[in-house]
Structure 1
Amino acid sequence: MDGPASGPTAAASHADIAELSYEQARDELVQVVTQLEQGAATLEQSLALWERGEALAKRCEEWLLGARARLDAARAAADDAS
């Protein structure tokens, strides 16, 4: 059985994450972790926060992997030029 934070509704609520910059995603992830650590949320809210945090962490990783690829390409181009 799917919980309230799964399925198409969860996907739609996380669609905005794809538009976030690295800094925006990182800052929101810090807020999510803080909220989870405080433990004041209901179980349903905690699950939704956890899922959003996972999606935010994935977005940050995508940004970092993209940055690494750009650096590797720039280094390769510099090596080819010398």
Structure 2
Amino acid sequence: MTDTPVDQMTFEQAMKELEVVVGQLERGDVALDQSIALYERGAKLKKRCEDELKRAEEKVAAITLDADGQPTGTTPVEGQ
């Protein structure tokens, strides 16, 4: 696990760490307290990934096409 705050991770960083957390939990070779901490971190990582995917979907949906099917720009997405 990294020390990077979850809210500062890219989608790729959060997904990679989430895979590590899930792997550790599936192996079951960690103490109960550590399992709880891993589960909490995993929940935060999962939410970060979901939020980033939603933001990306909104960006894609905001792209408008002209009569020739070419992108004409994007509509600003809230928070950008």
Normalising by structure 2, what TM-score? Answer: 0.76
Consecutive aligned runs of 4 or more in structure 1 exceeding 4 Å deviation? none
The aligned residue for residue 61 of structure 1 is 50
- What is the percentage of aligned positions where both structures have the same residue? 42
Query: Counterparts in 2 of 1:1-82, with a 5 A limit?
Result: 16-74=5-63, 77-78=64-65, 81-82=66-67
Structure 1 gap segments, 5+ residues each: 1-13
TM-score (norm 1): 0.74
Q: Distance in 1 between matches of 2:20 and 2:31?
A: 17
Structure showing the higher helix proportion among its residues: 1
In the TM superposition, what whole-angstrom CA distance separates every residue of 1:36-67 from its partner, at most 9, and x where no partner exists? 01101111100000000000000000110000
Partner of 2:58: helix, strand, or coil? Answer: helix
Q: Which gives a bigger RCO, structure 1 or 2 (Cα 8 Å, sep 6+)?
A: 1
- The structure richer in strand per residue is 2
Partners of 2:12 and 2:5 in 1: CA distance: 14
Give the superposed CA RMSD: 1.5
- Provide structure 2 residue ranges, at least 5 long, that are not aligned to the other structure: 68-80
Q: How many residues get paired?
A: 65
